[in-house]
A and B are shown apart, each in its own frame.
Chain A
Amino acid sequence: MKSLDELRKIRDQVRKDLELRGGQHRAKVVVCMGTCGIAAGARETMKAILDTLEAEKVTDVAVVAAGCQGFCEQEPLVEIHLRDAAPVRYGHVDAEKAARIVREHILGGHTVDELVFG
């Protein structure tokens, strides 16, 4: 180790992983992953969410799978929990909508009204 800069590089590479484990998140995304959710494409939705977060270099958002919530006809279903705000539920979230929700709601702070369900 020759300099602090070298150390900084290693730190920044690995830091992302740690934030996910740290438990302090700006937001939590719950993807409904019951049988019908998966059948309706929830896996792709989740992947799109993860990819968008990664593309935006966001590391303090938790993405969590949840079980069947009983709204099968609205699948894939995604809930956004921002700190200190009531959760917002979106229905029929395909990959494209998922990316939009991440950008506008989580990063931008505005609910995407036309996608909100319930």
Chain B
Amino acid sequence: MAKPRAYIMVPVDADTVIIGAREVKSRFSAELGRRGLADEVRVLEVGSFGPTNAGVIAAVQPDGVVYGRLTPADVPGIVEEHFVKGRICGRYVLPREYPPEVPSDDDARRTQQVGRVVLDNCGRIDPERIEEYIAGEGYFALGRAVGEMTPAQVLDVVEKSGLRGRGGAGFPTGRKWRFCASAPGDVKYVICNADEGEPGTFKDRLIMEGDPHKVLEGMALCGYAIGARMGYVYIRGEYKLSIERMQKAIDQAREYGLLGKGLFGSAFDFDVDIKIGAGAYVCGEETALIESMEGKRGLPRLKPPFPAQCGYLCKPTNVNNVETLAAVPAILRHGADWFRSMGTEGTPGTKVYTVLGHVNRPGLIEVQAGITLREILNDYAGGMASGTFKMAHLGGTAGEILGAEMLDVPMDYDAMQKVGHVLGSGAILIMNESVGINDYLDACMRFFKHESCGNCNPCRNGLHALCGITGRLKAKEGYPGDVALMEELVMSLKTVAFCPLGQSPAGPVMSALRYFRAEVEAGVDPTRVRPKPAHSHLEKVELGV
């Protein structure tokens, strides 16, 4: 085939499939074919560019033109104008700086792309062609590692890079790998946690859909470092396109001998398989995930022993988030110092966020760790779409709610901790004054109640009671004392719940009280009298209404 002059890149991910991205793409192919331009202009399916409110997008490169909100019916006109007559079709063009993720000559846009570690290929390569990943230096880190480095050296680089787990807790990745590497036993496992259950977080899905080989390469590097020969990607069943693309990537990597026996002529074997989850939030917790992989009900295990000692099939197992593993190939390729030159001292590198809510440009972004919430809101998300900033919920439902006072705190694990917050998994839900805090808390508690695995009493019953309270506060029918009871409940859950799910409600509730106590308390009706529980010997037990 002749070398094309231009590419039409249509991001196809689980969201855009629903609104017709594949139809738009095939219409482009058909129209170009009809006009004899099929060789000159090539149509490509790529991963997400980031924005989630721009409809079906088609980016034309090298022209740097981005059309958005397309339907198949718009396509013939665009082909005629842009490719036959050479005129940009102004009415479909998205605003200049939007989406910032589309590579272009435009300097304003490019400044937002420098230093992309995880998303550098997303929206740029065809995720279903391993050759394109290789063309961007893919699998070179693995080749060099197994050919020229010892596992201990790989481990050192990851440790020195300061990479921290991107699944939410921010645990130092190198240290975690070391636990597993030094655990006795010669059968070990690498698990990529792609359960991504935290509401509002969808970065892992877009990484897998846009650049699946990066995740595989990261897993293989981890396997080499810790001495594992087998890896599993645990993907929730709803992530159909992620599963499809990961599977295709695994097949292609096997075909090229980039997974399998004796990689790069060494003695290192590594293969990857997919395990499909059934979509329970608690199965994102690493020990419940392992239980579920073993074919059991997804109930968290008691720790210790940690997975690094007794994980999958009670073998030493390392569990990392998708984004964490996806950062590893670049770290090995460019070195620990390069990674440390980005982000902050305590949180080197970049962080991928999904920004949503009342903003002009919701979507996926990758930024230097340590920039402030205000910068993310204004520079990346295009500011508030309506109203004024009231609060942001970071890290999904289990994360914390931040008031406007926190807009200028650097977003890294340590700075957040210093002001009493956690950074979480990467969701940033921005809300304006139209969202009532009690409505919001009630929605959060109902989510937890629904997702509680029911295995331990405090969580199972505590969340039921919590929902009773938040439901009343929301209806402005709270009993006097409800707010104090709510605090007591979440704090007891934090101490006694068996797993972090039950411990989490304290996050949103206590942070909401920190910034919006008066508004929460306004949900109490001082004239109401709390009814006596039916069983008076249980006087102190509040089971909701």
- Asked if B135 and A33 make an inter-chain contact with CB atoms under 8 angstroms apart, the answer reads no
* Binary flags per residue of A63-98, CB closer than 8 Å to B gives 1, else 0: 111111000000000000000000000000000000
Contact partners of B87 in chain A: CB under 8 A? 66-68
| Chain B residues within an 8 Å CB radius of A28 | 62, 105
Smallest beta-carbon distance A17→chain B, Å = 7
Residue of A nearest to B85 (CB): A67
List chain A residues, Cβ under 8 A from B7: 20-21
A65–B86 touching, CB < 8 Å = yes
Q: In whole angstroms, how far apart are the Cα atoms of A20 and B90 in the complex?
A: 23
Q: Is the CB of B147 within 8 A of A21?
A: no
The B126-150 residues at the A interface (CB cut-off 8 A) are 131-132, 134-137, 139-140, 143-144, 147
Among residues 48 to 71 in chain A, which have CB atoms less than 8 Å away from a CB atom of chain B? 50, 54, 62-68
B3, CB-defined interface residue at 8 Å:
yes
Most buried by A among B3, B139, B257: B3
Residue of A nearest to B81 (CB): A67
Contact B105 A18 (CB under 8 A): no
Q: With a CB–CB cut-off of 8 A, which chain B residues contact A15?
A: 135
In the complex the two chains form, is B83's CB within 8 Å of A65's CB? yes
Roughly how many angstroms separate A70 CA and B80 CA in the complex, as a whole number? 19
CA distance A17 to B6 in the complex (A): 10
Does B226 sit at the interface, judged by CB under 8 A? no
Q: A18's contact among B63, B84, B125, B143, by CB below 8 Å, is which?
A: B125
Chain A: residues with Cβ within 8 Å of the partner, total of 36
Complex-state Cα separation, A65 to B263, whole angstroms:
45
* B105–A50 touching, CB < 8 Å: no
Q: Are B143 and A23 in contact (CB under 8 A)?
A: no
Cβ contacts A1-36/B at 8 Å (1 or 0 each): 111100100110111111011111100100111110
* Chain A residues, CB < 8 A from B135: 10-11, 13-15, 17-18
B104 interface hit (Cβ, 8 Å): yes
- CB < 8 Å: which of B86, B143, B256 contacts A34? B86
**A115 to B110, alpha carbons, bound, how many Å?**
34
Cβ of A40 under 8 Å from chain B: no
With beta carbons under 8 angstroms apart, the residue of B105, B144, B256, B258 that contacts A23 is B105
Q: B110 touching A10 by the CB < 8 A rule?
A: no
Interface contact B264-A18, CB-CB below 8 Å: no
A21 neighbours in B (Cβ, 8 Å)? 7, 9, 61-62, 103, 124-125
**Cα-based distance from A105 to B135 in the complex (angstroms):** 29
Question: Is A20's CB under 8 angstroms from B61's CB?
Answer: yes
Residue of B nearest to A64 (CB): B63
CB neighbours of B134 from chain A (8 A): 7, 10-11, 14
> Is B3 touching A2 in the complex (CB atoms < 8 A)?
no
Q: Which residues of B contact A46 (CB under 8 A)?
A: 5
Q: How far is the CB of B41 from chain A (nearest CB, A)?
A: 10
Q: Are A34 and B85 in contact (CB under 8 A)?
A: yes
- Smallest CB gap from B3: residue in A: A54
Q: What is the bound-complex CA distance between A14 and B256, given in angstroms? A: 15
The smallest C-beta distance from B59 to any residue of chain A, in angstroms, reads 9
- CB closest residue in chain B, given A62: B62
Given known A3-B265, A23-B104, A25-B105, contact A18–B124 (CB-CB < 8 A): yes
Given contacts A1-B143, A2-B257, A14-B131, contact A22 B3 (CB under 8 A): no
Chain B: which residue is nearest A21 at the CB level?
A: B61
Q: A11-B135, A11-B137, A35-B85 are in contact. Are A23 and B265 (CB under 8 A)?
A: no
Which residues 35-65 in B have Cβ within 8 Å of A in the complex? 61-64
The answer on a CB contact under 8 Å between B3 and A50 is yes
Bitwise interface map of B from 92 to 130 toward A, beta carbon under 8 Å scored 1, else 0: 000000000011110000100000000000001100000
CB proximity to A under 8 Å, residues B451-470: none
B247-291 residues with Cβ-Cβ distance < 8 A to A are 256-258, 263-265
Residues of A within 8 A of B61 (CB): 20-21, 23
User: Which A residues form the contact surface with B (CB < 8 A)?
Assistant: 1-4, 7, 10-11, 13-18, 20-25, 28, 31-35, 37, 46, 50, 54, 62-68
B residues whose Cβ falls under 8 Å from a Cβ of A: 3-7, 9, 61-64, 82-87, 102-105, 110, 124-125, 131-132, 134-137, 139-140, 143-144, 147, 256-258, 263-265
Selected A-B contacts with CB under 8 Å, 26 pairs: A1-B257, A2-B264, A3-B143, A3-B147, A3-B265, A4-B147, A7-B139, A11-B134, A11-B140, A13-B131, A14-B132, A14-B135, A18-B124, A18-B132, A20-B61, A21-B7, A21-B62, A23-B64, A23-B105, A23-B110, A28-B105, A33-B84, A37-B86, A46-B5, A63-B62, A67-B85
Query: Top 4 A-B pairs ranked by shortest CB distance?
Result: A62-B62, A23-B103, A65-B86, A67-B87
